[in-house]
Amino acid sequence: MKYTEIPYVDKKVSRIIFGTAMAPFIMGGDGNDLLDAVYALGVNTFDMARNYMAAELSVGRWLEEKGMRDKVVLLSKCGHPSIFGRKRINEQDIRKDFRKTSGYLKTDYIDIYLLHRDDPETKAGDIVEIFNALHAERKIGAFGGSNWTFERIAEANEYAYKHNLIPFTVSSPNFGLAEQVADPWGGGCVSISGSAGEKAREWYQENQMPVIAYSSLGRGMFSGKVKSTDKDKVAQILDDVAIKGYVSDNNFERLRRCEELAMEKGCAVSQIAMAWIYNQKLNTFAVVSTSKGERMRENIDALDMKLTEEEMMYLDLKKEVR
């Protein structure tokens, strides 16, 4: 495993972050064995959110039963719109979410705290003030946004610098080789993949802000369970969210090229897709969910895989031949 520092987080953060938006966690089930397995492999950072049903409750039991709180980095998210679409980017709702999260996780401190969505009608400076207050109260460490555009992050940080406040130091957009072709869930998902994300990637590269990439394998599209010949039966393999967000002719071609390189290099398709992420010039972390520890080992091994510039461009359809 590789680790690096994120400003305002007092532990080094694993480059691979375990995502809990999956069974058994979302149902509040016992995931202790799986959490033990991924932690034993070196993953010390765990991604949650207030709206991942009972995931925080499940992880909280593990933390308490195994005495793990001081050994791990906890990332959670707040401010997701209500099921009725009401926007919740305000101090009252953010603090309400924090109280619930901290209660379920059985801790009074969250290492990395993100807004799950943005509300462009709310002044970025107001949000910076709220997060700075939580940080001053020693409730949170680093903070930032999930599904925030880089322009809004820049706006928030300009306010922070002008007022001698802590800026956003973390961002969690969608990012991966699989281009997000439609908003998977609706309501403000932000991706920096594909040609449309080029300016955003340039900004992140220039600023080296940590990018915590969600759906880094296209919600299973590049996990290995879908083959490039599976176009006619992909609905039997992936869920509706993945199909809406990531199934396209171009992504099937990217998948075919991953299979080609994986065959040549003697590795898994998912390892090629993960290596593509980590060979970028961005400060990238990847959120990965898996039901088996050995699959996580493959993702970890991909951290050390090198791809040439030609291979990178070929995989992303920017070059027809290698």
Q: Please identify which residue in the block is written with the tokens 């801790």.
A: 107
Q: In whole angstroms, what is the distance from residue 77 CA to residue 301 CA? A: 28
pLDDT surpasses 90 at 24: yes
Instruction: Check residue 111 and give its pLDDT.
Output: 98
3 state SS of 121: coil
Q: Are the C-beta atoms of 111 and 142 separated by less than 8 Å? A: yes
Q: In whole angstroms, what is the distance from residue 232 CA to residue 241 CA? A: 17
pLDDT surpasses 90 at 186: no
Task: Read off the pLDDT of residues 119-128 as tens digits, 9 standing for 90 and up.
Answer: 999 999 999 9
**Mean local confidence (pLDDT), 276-303:** 93
Q: Please tell me the least confidently modeled range out of 165-174, 183-192, 224-233, 237-246.
A: 183-192
Instruction: Check residue 112 and give its pLDDT.
Output: 98
pLDDT surpasses 80 at 187: no
- Which pLDDT band, with edges at 50, 70 and 90, does 86 fall under? confident
**Mean local confidence (pLDDT), 132-159:** 98
pLDDT surpasses 90 at 131: yes
Q: Please identify which residue in the block is written with the tokens 């396209």.
A: 248
Omega before 184 within 30 of 0, i.e. cis: no
Q: Is domain 3-221+277-305 classified as CATH 3.20.20.100?
A: yes
Structure token pair of residue 309:
């510039």
Instruction: Check residue 279 and give its pLDDT.
Output: 96
List, in sequence order, every residue forming a beta bridge with 170; answer none if it has no partner: 144
Residue spans per domain, the chain:
3-221+277-305
- Which pLDDT band, with edges at 50, 70 and 90, does 144 fall under? very high
Q: In whole angstroms, what is the distance from residue 320 CA to residue 322 CA? A: 7
Instruction: Check residue 286 and give its pLDDT.
Output: 96
Which of 157, 154, 151, 99 lies closest to 128, judged by CA?
157
What average pLDDT does the structure give for the chain? 96
Task: Read off the pLDDT of residues 199-248 as tens digits, 9 standing for 90 and up.
Answer: 999 999 999 999 999 999 999 999 999 999 999 999 999 999 999 999 99
Instruction: Check residue 177 and give its pLDDT.
Output: 97
Task: Read off the pLDDT of residues 145-157 as tens digits, 9 standing for 90 and up.
Answer: 999 999 999 999 9
Task: Write the DSSP assignment of 281-298 as a string of letters.
Answer: SS-EEEEE--SSHHHHHH
- The sign of the torsion formed by the CA atoms of 99, 50, 115, 176 equals positive
Q: Please tell me the least confidently modeled range out of 10-14, 137-141, 168-172, 288-292.
A: 288-292
Instruction: Check residue 84 and give its pLDDT.
Output: 82
- Which pLDDT band, with edges at 50, 70 and 90, does 271 fall under? very high
In this structure, what is the dihedral angle of CA atoms 85, 89, 92, 96, given to the nearest 10 degrees?
70
